[in-house]
Structure 1
Amino acid sequence: MTAHFAFDNSYARLPSSFYARIKPTPVSGPHLIKLNRNLATQLGLDPDELATPAGVEILAGRRVPDGAEPIATAYAGHQFGNFVPQLGDGRAILLGELIDRDGTRRDVQLKGAGRTPFSRGGDGRAALGPVLREYLVSEAMAALGIPTTRALAAVTTGDEVMRATPLPGAVLTRVASSHIRIGSFQFFAARRDVDAVRALADHAITRHYPEAAGAARPYLAFLEGVIARQARLIAQWLLVGFIHGVMNTDNMSIAGETIDYGPCAFMDAYDPATVFSSIDQFGRYAYANQPGIAQWNLTRLAECLLPLLADDQNEAIEQAQEALSAFAERFNDAYLGGLRRKLGLLSERENDLELAQDLLNRMAAGEADFTLTFRRLCDAAAGPEGDAAARSLFADPASYDAWAERWRLRLVEEPQEGSARRASMQRVNPAFIPRNHRVEAVIEAAVEKQDFAPFEELLTVLSKPYEDQAGFASYAEPPARDGRVYRTFCGT
């Protein structure tokens, strides 16, 4: 018996210009690395059936399950600010959509499934390293409570892919609320196909923003909804030190999920100018630039929607500008609210942002680790005896002392007792993130030695990021200076 997928494929019912029908290219020897059994159950799938040889063949693209309608979706996009009118799924194939146990429609996509009409000369395959990175980081983001695509499974293919050197091939089965991107709208807008833009917007409203359907101006309400979700998402990224690395418009989901984990990473020492991506040579997508880039990308979405907002272009532009102007306030509210919670502040005071920014400035000057500083503040918030661990992270501990004195005066205004404050702060300040040197070590063990035990262990740690895990305490530590990883790479 093979795994049963109860597909209901709404995107494949859209006009044929939205996608290309293409089956995955078979691989020679699929082998299961990891199956996300909890996610499989949530999707209404039988994890035991998925783990059988027949199930693994589905996860590798060697067998197409009943009810699947494999497609590669079309989209365009601004890549590092330069518009490319046709991109599309060059190495990903959408098998279909499932309704999960909560009634949410979810895409099931194979990443690394072979060439498509959008491959632009690429091989359509994925190497093992990027598949493991996306599995680890996307599942870590989910455990952190940040909207994200999910990893259902990772398999090796038995075939090599050529990058700088031959590498073992792999396929990631990715699950998303949808794979509709800002670039999906740009694809049709660039062709002046207003009917297709409208059809895509109607589909997105039905799927992701049903409340917009009943609004006086549905397409404006849709735009406002996307802006609100993206503002909150980017704030969540910054609050955990996450850097996407390639925030092109084709890598921004209109569902408000983190998507397309390529050269992504989490900061170690705090520096707002941090860049990891090997292809981001000018720092366009640096940590601190992400809110501005998100608003720039959303402006491109608004441009696509102008013909739907009003018949008069000036009126449409005015509506779009008003919607876009809300981004900054929504982002700032989400970001400051998150900073308050990270510092143990439940009430609001006028100088809270200045207090938080002062800490960040001192962290940058003192090369303090972002994640560990906030985690150790949880103990410091319970009483001054907890200061020693936090201050030790600063090159000049006296800099921490000067800030902590101000912080304690602010905490006096809060109603919580020390132990309760510590507990509430620990719920928002993770102890464990997928530190880049750990991820690279996992990839090296898998690629060079076919050893997946480090992958399994790191995945276990990351599944409970807010819990102290005594047996894995070393995973909370930042790398030694000579062990830092400064560059990450795309998988193509």
Structure 2
Amino acid sequence: MKTLSTLMLTNSYSDLPASLGTQVTPQPLDTPFLVHFNPLVAEKLELASITALDPSFIDIFSGNATLAGLSPLAMKYCGHQFGQYNPDLGDGRGLLLGEVLTSEGKKWDLHLKGSGKTPYSRMGDGRAVLRSSIREYLASAAMEGLGIATTHALAIIGSQTPVVREKIETAATLIRVAESHLRFGHFEYLFYTNQYAELQQLADYVIEHHFPELTTNDSPYAALFEQICQRTATMIAAWQAVGFAHGVMNTDNMSILGLTFDYGPFGFIDDYEPSYICNHSDYSGRYAFDQQPSIALWNLSALGYALTPLLDKTEIDHGLEHYQDTLQQQYSHNMRQKLGLTIADESDTGLFSELFQLLKQHHVDYTLFFRTLSYITIDDLLHSDHLFNTLFQCTSALKTWLTRYQQRLLLEPNDTQRLTTMLHHNPKYILRNYLAQQAIEEAEQGDYQLIDQLITVLSHPFDEHKGAEALAQLPPNWGKHLEISCSS
């Protein structure tokens, strides 16, 4: 393990076109302090754990000191926001500090979110509040624990710096860690400003650093677009299977590596509602849960259009078809794992369709239903409806579905393996909105114990955690109706 001063720092982004960013110095926070540090993310960087007694770490990541080798850069990009093109985007409150190179040659971006004004802040103050920082910190840990591609968060630094949102809040910085911070919007920016040579340079950079196997491909840019489509499809399939809604799937929030990126008004489904809208500002439901697969296709089409200087229509269409095929196959695979099915059967579509209809009609908690089912043997299925009494007001329709499910399981070779598979793919713990809200309210009073508890269970959400049963229970009614906006 290394200390801050011995980290191997690089800056490959300096090789990119100068128009893609501006050097900016972070603005310091007042009286900064460590809110929380995630040692699991530190391990990725080969960095030793940090405590509240490490002033150099706190000073560096609050903008009060510098670290040799860091070259803070506010990145320029654009994108489609709620379907409308916006050229006036970029890192308005974040800075790419540099890159950590591990002993095995793995490169990780260090990004400081909430670091003050940049040339792309528009009317904003460039700050992040403690509330939004905690939500992203917990969400990235939750997604990593679920095995879903995501950015990571190393730590939260709090402060006494006041910021104005709907009310007066305190500013914080989040240290984000990712394999790349490049977005669909970077390509869109270069395309719409007619920087075609720079567009090709960016594509070459992505291939060199993230898809080196494509360098010898006869059509490397078409292969790159196909890879982006495939990774995006895998990510979306994972979101849909676990019940995660992103909330703001603008093209500037889409990662070229298929990482879950820019956590804002996200939400995990409580009662199953396919049209669930987690973003209070999404008046039309454009980014509703069941719209995410089609929105990702729309965003990929926008990216494909931005790549037309490098691709022809046939290559773009092929990539988009690959997205749809991958999404369907991966989602079917994920859902079969949730029911412990190892053999694909033509009856499975009807089995899942009836289940989703059942869950929707009875307003059943999505996570707890699948987790409860994961403990029941095939022999006990037809006598297990009492185990669902807290989820269903009437279980008669459930009994009918359980009968069909039991008949389907007769095709499976091993029931013990089925239960093992289900317990590894149906989490006991998810980041429900009300839990995040409770953690925020306690943190605002200086108590970070719930953040610590949540990081523990969310990092291993499929495990049993003694003493943490309360974090896996049905949410209270008020917790199902929290309104989350883009305010951060």
TM-score, L = length of structure 2: 0.96
Cα displacement string for residues 377-412 of structure 1 (whole angstroms, at most 9, x for unaligned residues): 112345325442236412331111111111100001
Distance 2:260 2:68 in 1: 29
Deviation at 1:101, TM superposition (A): 4.6
Q: How does 1:398-413 map to 2 (within 5 A)?
A: 398-413=396-411
Distance 1:148 1:463 in 2: 13
Deviation at 1:50, TM superposition (A): 9.1
| Identity within the alignment, % | 38
Structure 1 residue aligned with 2:348: 352
Kept after mapping to 2: 8 A contact 1:2/1:49: no
Structure 2 residue corresponding to 1:441, chosen from 438, 441, 446: 438
Structure 2 residue aligned with 1:388: 386
Distance 2:239 2:329 in 1: 14
Q: How does 1:301-450 map to 2 (within 5 A)?
A: 301-309=303-311, 316-382=312-378, 383-384=380-381, 385-390=383-388, 392-417=390-415, 419-447=416-444, 449-450=445-446
Cα displacement string for residues 116-148 of structure 1 (whole angstroms, at most 9, x for unaligned residues): 000001000010000000000110100111110
Structure 2 residue corresponding to 1:218, chosen from 217, 220, 242: 220
Kept after mapping to 2: 8 A contact 1:442/1:455: yes
Deviation at 1:321, TM superposition (A): 1.1
Q: Report the CA distance shift for 1:142/1:102 in structure 2 as closer, same or farther (over 3 A).
A: farther
Distance 2:16 2:51 in 1: 31
Deviation at 1:456, TM superposition (A): 1.4
Q: How does 1:55-454 map to 2 (within 5 A)?
A: 55-309=57-311, 316-382=312-378, 383-384=380-381, 385-390=383-388, 392-417=390-415, 419-447=416-444, 449-454=445-450
Cα displacement string for residues 73-131 of structure 1 (whole angstroms, at most 9, x for unaligned residues): 01001000010013000000010011235432111000000100000010000100000
Task: Please tell me the residue identity of whatever aligns with 2:345.
Answer: R
Distance 2:25 2:189 in 1: 22
Deviation at 1:6, TM superposition (A): 1.6
Kept after mapping to 1: 8 A contact 2:428/2:463: yes
TM-score, L = length of structure 1: 0.95
Deviation at 1:42, TM superposition (A): 2.4
Q: Report the CA distance shift for 1:334/1:101 in structure 2 as closer, same or farther (over 3 A).
A: farther
Q: Report the CA distance shift for 1:2/1:307 in structure 2 as closer, same or farther (over 3 A).
A: closer
SS at match of 1:85: strand
Distance 2:423 2:203 in 1: 40
Q: How does 1:14-53 map to 2 (within 5 A)?
A: 14-48=16-50, 52-53=54-55
Residue 461 (structure 1) aligned with residue 465 (structure 2): no
SS at match of 1:84: strand
Task: Please tell me the residue identity of whatever aligns with 1:262.
Answer: G
Distance 2:50 2:242 in 1: 35
Deviation at 1:317, TM superposition (A): 1.1
Task: Please tell me the residue identity of whatever aligns with 1:335.
Answer: Y
Deviation at 1:169, TM superposition (A): 1.0
Deviation at 1:166, TM superposition (A): 0.9
Structure 1 residue corresponding to 2:468, chosen from 449, 468, 472: 472
Q: Report the CA distance shift for 1:50/1:439 in structure 2 as closer, same or farther (over 3 A).
A: closer
Unmatched runs of 5 consecutive residues or more in structure 1 = 310-315
Structure 2 residue corresponding to 1:487, chosen from 479, 483, 487: 483
Unmatched runs of 5 consecutive residues or more in structure 2 = none
Distance 1:259 1:25 in 2: 24
Task: Please tell me the residue identity of whatever aligns with 1:436.
Answer: N
Kept after mapping to 2: 8 A contact 1:130/1:490: no
SS at match of 1:281: coil
Kept after mapping to 2: 8 A contact 1:306/1:317: yes
SS at match of 1:283: coil
Kept after mapping to 1: 8 A contact 2:187/2:306: yes
Residue 8 (structure 1) aligned with residue 10 (structure 2): yes
SS at match of 2:149: coil
Distance 1:425 1:332 in 2: 20
Kept after mapping to 2: 8 A contact 1:31/1:158: no
Q: Which moved more, 1:61-70 or 1:285-294?
A: 61-70
SS at match of 1:380: coil
Task: Please tell me the residue identity of whatever aligns with 1:442.
Answer: A
SS at match of 1:319: helix
Task: Please tell me the residue identity of whatever aligns with 2:428.
Answer: A
Deviation at 1:278, TM superposition (A): 1.4
Distance 2:43 2:321 in 1: 41
Kept after mapping to 2: 8 A contact 1:108/1:173: yes
Distance 2:150 2:392 in 1: 32
Kept after mapping to 1: 8 A contact 2:91/2:121: yes
Q: How many residues align?
A: 484
RMSD: 1.6
Kept after mapping to 1: 8 A contact 2:151/2:260: yes
Distance 1:18 1:35 in 2: 31
Q: Report the CA distance shift for 1:88/1:427 in structure 2 as closer, same or farther (over 3 A).
A: same
Kept after mapping to 2: 8 A contact 1:3/1:55: no
Distance 1:65 1:388 in 2: 59
Structure 2 residue aligned with 1:312: none
Q: Which moved more, 1:34-43 or 1:340-349?
A: 34-43
Q: Which moved more, 1:384-393 or 1:468-477?
A: 384-393
SS at match of 2:22: strand
Distance 1:324 1:421 in 2: 34
Q: Report the CA distance shift for 1:50/1:24 in structure 2 as closer, same or farther (over 3 A).
A: farther
Q: Report the CA distance shift for 1:48/1:153 in structure 2 as closer, same or farther (over 3 A).
A: closer
Q: Report the CA distance shift for 1:483/1:68 in structure 2 as closer, same or farther (over 3 A).
A: closer
Distance 1:256 1:174 in 2: 16
SS at match of 2:371: helix
Q: Report the CA distance shift for 1:438/1:49 in structure 2 as closer, same or farther (over 3 A).
A: closer
Distance 1:235 1:215 in 2: 27
Deviation at 1:2, TM superposition (A): 5.8
